[in-house]
Structure 1
Amino acid sequence: YNTILNIGKARYNEQNHFYYGGLYHTDWGDYIVVVSASDPYGFKELDALTHILIIVFVVFLVLIFVAGRIFSHYTVKPITSIINKVNNISANNLNSRLKELKGQDELAELVHTFNNMLNRLETAFETQNNFVSNASHELKTPLAIISGEVELLLARDDISEKTREATKVILSHAEKLGHILTSLLGLAQSGFDGKRQNWQRIRIDELVLEVADAVKKIDPEGTIQIDFSELPSDESQLFIDGNLNLLQLALSNILLNACKYSNHQMVKVGVSSKQGRVSVSVIDEGIGIPDEEQQHIFEPFFRASNTGEFNGHGVGLPLTLNIIRLHKGSIGIRSEEN
């Protein structure tokens, strides 16, 4: 009031309440007029609207997120199903196919294309399988006849010494060719899908004992020491699913190499099981492999530069590698020359 009396007018606001007053002079006297208004600019409504918009925005974000997750789930579900089915298809079940989808969209075309690829792969595997089977019969049969005839010739007493020596050379090379042929056929067969193989439960420590006895019969001068000190207490960890004949062949290849290239020094074989995986280690004191050549030892027909004094064909380790891979295992080597 004092401000109005002194100046003639005044403004004042408090907590969004506005007041205006003025002094008016009339014939009937002086009058002070004061008017007030609450929230004349709609600040409360704007503030409430802001809160409402924020809440609506958050709710819409949640709804959009949930709707997006649901939409993406049903959109990606066919692709996820295809991926899971494809991951379950391996060389062991090439006869499996993806379920054909109705329609002409990209997913249906993808499934159709993948099934066509599986058809071609299965045909290629069957063709290779038939070739190896036929080659096994067609090549080994005449070779066996040659070896048999040569042995009959050597059994005769009416041949000259020169002819006998030449015949022994023929027999030696025929046997060598037979070993090469057997190894090559095994190398090819070990890459098959395994559906025609006899898979069974195999106990690794028993497999090692059987192979060690077989190697001693093949190479009586070889010395093999078996270490079972790291066997797990739970015997179930020693069992794997596999083909007994192929695993025997793979392990015997490694042990025979160890005995041969170590000049029949002690060869140590150990068996252990860690984190659900069975490991077999073979340690020898042999000639070793040059560092620059170790990356090639699993290549067919490769022989290290320091193996010239030893007989071999360079197919044993590649065959072993294929067999181990067929059983979803791995094989590695650490070697020092001499």
Structure 2
Amino acid sequence: MLQFTLLVLGIQLGFSSFIYYFNARTRAQRFEFRLANSATLAGRVLVRTHKLEVGMLGSLHRRDLLTLPLEQISIYGPDNSLRYSSSDNIDQATNRARLGRLTPGQLTSFPRVGRRETVGLVFSEAPNANYRIFVSAEDRAGWAQLRQLGLLLVLGNVGALVLTILAGWFFARAALRPVARISRQASRISATNLGRRLSEGNGRDELAQLAQIFNTMLAGLEQAFETQKSFLAHASHELRTPLTTLTGTLETALEYDTSLAEARQSMSQSLEAARRLTALTNGLLNLAKVDGALPAFTPVRLDECLNLALQAVRMQYPGREWRLAFGTLPAKTEADLFMLSGNAELLTTALLNLLDNAGKYSTGPVQTALAYADDHTLCVRVTDTGPGLSADELRHIYEPLYRAAGALARPGYGLGLPLTQRIVQRHGGRLEIVAAPGQGTTASVWLPAAPL
């Protein structure tokens, strides 16, 4: 409100100064014109009628030509001698000093002394008879009008300033009222009640848009908190199982194992539980690693990453049939195909997770396709013939440690797809899972390709 008031005040003062200056200039020009007319009239009445000769003034009195307030007229002859003055107390020394500044055919204005303004001109009666006339007076009416205008502008600016402050205060309160409401509502939202939302007002203005942005942010935070709760719950459960198994096996072995065979069996069970615990911990660490800072990306061949992932799953699932096909390829180009900017290790891990899920849940052949979706996008598609997923399961598959009902009897911890999704997102791509119960699952990855 203060800035707005100062801005309006500055505009008012600038506009008022312009008006006052313009009127002051107009008054000076107007009065100068009146002084010039008075000097011309004096020349016509006194010089042209030859009444300035000694004894020729006749019945003309000094004050007969005076038409302006406190007017003074002085006329000098061709020999620079004073021929006429309307008063005896005129400062003729100043007029004599100004004689050389007068030019024939040109009106000369002199600096104002107090309120008295003076002009001078050359009145030519004959080729060699130039009379110099000085006329001075005070523009009482003009100055009075200028004072009234100044007073009016001052009062108008003061009144406008008061109205501006009141209007600014009113509109500031009206404008900040929704902000105060949003602040009160936001202060009531905490980690325990993230389900509350801010009022979006009319849904059209800037404050409504701000409230919508906050509500979107709150929805994201609520989802993140729910995901974190689910993650912690699943992580606690998954970590508790191998730890419980490991602890129980060791306690049982310590208490009851009396032979080497029994001890070896307990050690084998403990080792398996420790391996499960290590695998789960490594999965959680990889998930956290992807969320952190990644090494600088380098040029990577996606087909090589896919081949490395296929080699790994062929060794892990030797009885499974793995098919690889190449789809649409771009027209002739001198650049290498299937190139993109990224991290080869992470991309191989992402593709290996998709292939591992296909091999884990499918008994039939697994179809893998690599192609260009367009000149700027690479696409990898993995299709299996497994049991598929329901719509509700598809909504949760990207949550860490979430496992579908059909996956509970299979090895794994529910970290593969969340890790793959984050790797793909960090590479500027997109992961999409399409599935239906009994119809298998298709996982598609789109990644930005290097320019061809």
Task: Give the TM-score normalised by the residue count of structure 2.
Answer: 0.38
1:206 to 304, 329, 332: 304
1:333 match: secondary structure: strand
Amino acid at match of 1:208: L
C-alpha spacing 1:211/1:198, structure 2 compared with 1 (3 Å): farther
2:370 to 246, 271, 274: 271
2:380 match: secondary structure: strand
Query: 1:36-62 deviations in whole A, cap 9, x for unaligned?
Result: xxxxxxxxxxxxxxxxxxxxxxxxxxx
Cα distance in 2 between the residues matched to 1:337 and 1:163: 45
Any conservation in 2 of the 1:237–1:276 contact (CA below 8 Å)? Answer: no
2:436 paired with 1:336: yes
Tell me the equivalent position of 1:297: 397
Tell me the equivalent position of 2:449: none
Cα distance in 2 between the residues matched to 1:297 and 1:316: 10
Tell me the equivalent position of 2:346: 246
Which 4+ runs in 1 deviate beyond 4 A? Answer: none
The structural deviation recorded for 1:202 is 1.1
Cα distance in 2 between the residues matched to 1:275 and 1:335: 28
The structural deviation recorded for 1:230 is 2.5
The structural deviation recorded for 1:257 is 0.6
C-alpha spacing 1:215/1:231, structure 2 compared with 1 (3 Å): farther
2:311 paired with 1:228: no
Amino acid at match of 2:267: T
Amino acid at match of 1:187: L
Tell me the equivalent position of 1:163: 263
2:317 paired with 1:219: yes
Cα distance in 1 between the residues matched to 2:329 and 2:259: 58
1:272 match: secondary structure: strand
The gaps in structure 1 that reach 5 residues or longer are 1-142, 151-157
CA RMSD of aligned residues (A): 2.3
2:275 paired with 1:175: yes
The structural deviation recorded for 1:337 is 1.1
1:328 match: secondary structure: coil
Any conservation in 2 of the 1:231–1:271 contact (CA below 8 Å)? Answer: no
Any conservation in 1 of the 2:330–2:375 contact (CA below 8 Å)? Answer: no
Tell me how many residue pairs correspond in the alignment.
Answer: 182
Q: Structure 1 vs Structure 2: percent identity of aligned residues?
A: 30
Any conservation in 2 of the 1:232–1:272 contact (CA below 8 Å)? Answer: no
Any conservation in 2 of the 1:269–1:281 contact (CA below 8 Å)? Answer: yes
1:257 to 354, 357, 376: 357
The gaps in structure 2 that reach 5 residues or longer are 1-242, 251-257, 439-452
Amino acid at match of 2:330: P
Cα distance in 1 between the residues matched to 2:351 and 2:329: 18
2:292 paired with 1:184: no
After TM superposition, the structure 1 stretch with the greater mean CA deviation from structure 2, 182-191 or 210-219, is: 210-219
2:415 paired with 1:315: yes
The structural deviation recorded for 1:164 is 2.1
Task: Give the TM-score normalised by the residue count of structure 1.
Answer: 0.50
